[in-house]
Chain A
Amino acid sequence: MQNLFLLLFAGYIGGLLLPLCFPTKPAVQNILAHGSAGLASGAGILLGVTGLFAPEPWTASVQSTIPFLSFAVRLDSLASLFVLTISLVGLVASIYAIGYVTEFYGRASIAALGALFNGFLLSMTLVVIADNGFFFLIVWELMSLLSYFLVVTEYEKAEVRYAGFFYLVMTHVGTAFIILAFLIFFQAGGSFSFEAFRHPEQPLPEGIRTLVFLMALIGFGTKAGIVPLHVWLPYAHPSAPSHISALMSGVMIKTAIYALVRVYFDFLGGQFPWWWGFIVLVIGAVSALLGVMYALMEHDLKSLLAYHSVENIGIILLGIGAGMIFQTYGLTEFAALGLLAGLYHTINHAMFKALLFLGAGSLLYATHTRNMEEYGGLLRRMPWTGAFFLIGAVSISALPPTNGFVSEWLIFQSLFLSFHLPTVLLKFMLPLAAAALALTSVLALACFAKAFGISFLALPRSSHARLAEEVPITMRIAMGLLAVVCVLLGLAPMVVVPMLDRVVTPFAGQSIEGKVLALDGWALAPVNMEFSSLSTPVLALLLVALSMLGLGLVAAFGGLVKQRYYKTWGCGINLTPRMEYTATGFVQPIKRVFGAIYQPTVKLETELLEESRYFAKRRHFEFHIEPVFQKYLYDPVVACFIGMAERLRVIQGGSLHLYLAYIFVTLIVLLLFAV
């Protein structure tokens, strides 16, 4: 395992340094950086798999001269799962990048992009295997900074700079809370090692534990993008190059989920009051609903996907929150199920979100625009990308028999088990969360019907779309790989569940593999066959067989008459793209029904013909939805800071002597204190 880890480390470092040796050849830099990253992430996949099935966690450490800091790594089953996920997405992103970054030749430094890409992957891997609080904070910060630089790759655009700045500020606010949480642990345990966090010398008092819970929730929640700390995410993720977006949305925000599970179930030992889990559950439900609702109104494909990340983080938290509630009441079996469902969705989301972002990147590559209203008819022009995007869309919409469905189904089941809980409030709130999940998933379905239908179907809506061509082979291979993984994760829960079971067993104190899998693994049956069961392989087989039956019926009843092709009837005139339903039009009913949430403002200006006021010469339509959180939560805070800064400006005289005087006075005061 050590060798694998060293290989991974060397690969990423090599990918970081090698391209810098060929300053003038972007093609060589490209191959070196991404080839090396691919090699390293391949090693990462092996490392993750062996780590998952290793009987004992693998540990290694290098002492440093800095007090309290040791470069300690520990690869337990939870860390292995995330290493595996990160590496898998990393491998695919590397393959994809070889084709995709040709876009940036001459516009950005490929060496820098490749180096940052490698560093980013390495830092994420280290985050999940770090075994020392200090070390964790360093790599966490490294991950944030590197991703910031990747976000601002196209720094010449003003909105990208804004997105980057916003991201930088938010992530540091989050980091501040994480540092506080870790300092509390440090004070109790006297050491930054995670072992000391796990078993402090004297147990933390209840109030302090609550403080840690909240700090971690805010700190890691900022990175994960929970509502209302999500506002940076829809700006930052789309601004990065698409393979980076895939990494950020697919796996970077998952490191926050990792950290939350680590802190709550590992460090705090799974002993908490019921309202912790309840808060996580409520945040999950709200994030899921608002995430998907804002996604529906978004017509920039990448921003839409970014909002869906908020939604899916919410869904993951629903599973984890349910697990925490069950844990409180000692229902370890169900707690394990909730946690397992949450983690299953974490992996699934990593895969289909990365796939969708890569698909969006391919569209951007082919059409040079992110605006969905300028797409259309792309399925005929880009059949491969279209097919892969469709698989991603079906998965994220949680339709059977894909992976998204399996994990949401498990979350449903764990929420349904709430009738075993002792208090009426919780018995009642968990089904409501299930209703919220149902609404979320069907809105996601509507959103992806829109995203796929408007982008890929009907007539091209602009010359960008008309002239689009299929993307290079490496990009197609990358998307194809992820599509296959998505399908497999859905059809083979018998492989995934035992892996996840190894992860949750230490935390929930019970292995539930035997309780979740039934019929030799061909069916999922949480808690028993009597309560619920699902077999996606059989469902998939059934769907295929019944489609064949449909074909058979057609052949039997009418014979396969040759079909005739003719243009769509356009009420007597030729159909043009302008008559098609737009993305804006598609979501109009939803906008209206949920008007209380969107607070839409619509502006319609019509210029009429002078001859007749029944004919319009020109129409201008625009609508905006109120960015509620930014307006009522962030703007006041920002205004407050700016106001304070204005006040403090008094001391800024601009004269060098004045500043020297400040330093002098400070020195004197400090000296006086010292005495």
Chain B
Amino acid sequence: MLQAIILVVAQMIVLLAVSPFLVGLIRKVKARLQLRRGASVLQPYADLAKLFRKQPVVSTTTSWIFTATPYIVFASTLAAGLLIPIFVSITPLDFAGNIIAVVYLLALGTFFLMLAGLDAGSSFGGMGSSREAIVASLTEPAMILSIFAIALTKGSTNLSTIVHKTALLEGIATDPSPYLMALAALLIVALAETGRVPVDNPATHLELTMIHEAMVLEYSGRYLALIEWAAGLKLAVFLSLIANVFAPWGIATTLAPTAMGIGLLAYLLKVSGLAVLIGILESMFAKLRLFRVTDLLGVAFILALLGLLFFYILRS
């Protein structure tokens, strides 16, 4: 029991600590690709520290939903992060929810962010919420289908089981193609869900293009700090999910200290690699028009569908 609690706390600290770094890393990669020097990768930590100390301004139009939302978003995103394996393949909290629970915990945060966007009464917030609604609705089916394709190959929807089995090379033998399709689909989903180019642009405050930034436009001070941290956590959750489900190399499958050390190191390398990849992808593509996002997410859906099809039909 005590061991489990320590593991959970350790996982939480790793997630909290690593998420601003990932955001900073992506920014750094983008800056270097644009031939700028860019801010230090540690800049997001400084931003958070500063935001926490600043006096928040809250709109007089708002209700308690507005002030409660940052805490709810922070808690739900972090809770989702605690359900997935990070550096040990057996998560103590695995019994509390499987991969569907992860998806819906993230949806809980989205729901309250959408409400908060509407609460201040400005058009920007409403615009952000409205756009978030359509992006979220188009990503969800693709996400569920790709999850299903992955779950099938291991005969489980529990993340720990999936990761553990993959790490130990157990499970139903299958072709690489279903994995490939599911991976591609999940990557697109991750870009859309974490508000990255080509779906959304985290670096802009232009009303034509922003989605997530528009929803949280009215936030300041500690509330903004929590929201920003939660956004970083969401990124970390998706990257960890992709890294550990598709490439659980190096993850600790036992609770031996050396194994966990290696697991932690491997985890940091993997998510950093993915963050660099996202930085490169963001530099390669332009942001899509909102109504062209459907094309991209349509591709994700079809990919997930094909993954499923390939699993069933090949070698059936």
Contacts and interface: CB of A to CB of B under 8 A. Distances in A.
A binds B: yes
Contacts of B111: 394, 397, 399, 445, 448-449
Interface stretch (A177-185, A202-210, A476-484, A553-561): A553-561
Interface stretch (A51-59, A562-570, A660-668): A562-570
Interface in B271-316: 290-291, 294, 301, 305, 308-309, 312-313, 316
A562 B94 CA distance: 39
Interface residues of A, number: 93
B202 interface: no
Interface string A564-598: 11111110000101011100011111101100000
Contacts of B137: 439, 442-443, 446, 590
B148 A575 contact: no
Contacts of A592: 291
Nearest to B140: A442
Nearest to B136: A442
Nearest to A528: B156
A526 B309 CA distance: 25
A586 B130 contact: yes
Contact of A593 (B71, B291, B301): B291
B34 interface: no
A4 B119 CA distance: 49
B56 A539 contact: no
Interface stretch (A88-96, A353-361, A411-419, A651-659): A411-419
A379 B60 contact: no
B130 A554 contact: no
Contact of A453 (B82, B115, B145): B115
Contacts of A446: 114, 133-134, 136-137
B54 interface: yes
Contacts of B71: 547, 550-551
Contacts of B18: none
A541 to B, nearest CB: 9
A424 B133 CA distance: 34
B312 A424 contact: yes
B134 A458 contact: no
Nearest to A461: B121
A523 interface: yes
A267 B248 CA distance: 51
B270 interface: no
A561 B145 contact: no
A219 B129 CA distance: 41
Contacts of B114: 446, 449, 453
B61 A568 contact: yes
Given A533-B95, A547-B75, A438 B118 contact: no
B126 to A, nearest CB: 2
A542 B115 contact: no
Given A424-B313, A449-B129, A586-B126, A405 B104 contact: yes
A539 to B, nearest CB: 6
B97 interface: yes
B53 A416 contact: no
B229 to A, nearest CB: 8
B123 A579 contact: yes
A435 interface: yes
A568 B120 contact: yes
A538 B57 contact: no
Contacts of B62: 457
Which one of B76, B96, B143, B291 has the highest number of Cβ atoms from chain A below 10 Å of its Cβ? B96
B158 A542 contact: no
A549 interface: yes
A51 B158 CA distance: 37
A529 interface: yes
Chain B contact residues (Cβ within 8 angstroms of A): what range? 35 or more
Given A424-B313, A588-B130, A457 B308 contact: no
Contact of B309 (A428, A454, A562): A428
A431 B301 CA distance: 12
A431 B104 contact: no
B129 A567 contact: no
A441 B313 CA distance: 29
Given A424-B313, A589-B134, A590-B137, A452 B115 contact: yes
Contact of A449 (B56, B94, B118, B141): B118
Given A449-B111, A523-B95, A565-B58, A419 B122 contact: no
Which one of B61, B127, B309 has the highest number of Cβ atoms from chain A below 10 Å of its Cβ? B61
B65 interface: yes
A399 B48 CA distance: 29
A550 to B, nearest CB: 4
A575 B121 contact: yes
Contacts of B118: 449, 453-454, 457-458, 581, 586
A639 interface: no
A413 B100 CA distance: 9
Nearest to B309: A428
B146 to A, nearest CB: 10
A79 to B, nearest CB: 32
A156 interface: no
Nearest to A575: B121
Given A399-B108, A558-B54, A589 B121 contact: no
B117 to A, nearest CB: 8
Contact of B161 (A386, A530, A538, A539): A530
Interface of B: 48-49, 51-65, 70-72, 74-76, 78-79, 82, 93-98, 100-101, 104-105, 107-108, 110-111, 114-115, 117-123, 125-127, 129-131, 133-134, 136-138, 140-141, 143-145, 148, 151-152, 155-158, 161, 218, 221-222, 225-226, 290-291, 294, 301, 305, 308-309, 312-313, 316
Interface of A: 377, 379-380, 386, 390, 394, 397-400, 405, 409, 412-413, 416, 419, 424, 427-428, 431-432, 434-439, 441-443, 445-446, 448-450, 452-454, 456-459, 518-519, 523, 525, 529-535, 538-539, 542-547, 549-551, 553-554, 557-570, 575, 577, 579-581, 585-590, 592-593
22 contacts: A380-B63, A390-B65, A405-B104, A416-B151, A435-B301, A438-B140, A439-B137, A449-B115, A457-B118, A458-B121, A518-B95, A530-B158, A532-B100, A538-B93, A546-B75, A546-B78, A550-B70, A554-B225, A558-B221, A568-B61, A586-B133, A587-B133
Given A547-B75, A593-B138, 16 more contacts: A379-B63, A398-B104, A399-B107, A399-B111, A438-B145, A456-B63, A457-B115, A533-B158, A550-B71, A550-B75, A561-B53, A568-B120, A579-B121, A581-B118, A586-B129, A590-B134
| In the complex, the 10 A-B pairs of residues with the closest C-beta atoms, listed nearest first | A581-B126, A558-B52, A453-B118, A458-B121, A546-B75, A446-B133, A557-B52, A438-B144, A442-B140, A449-B114
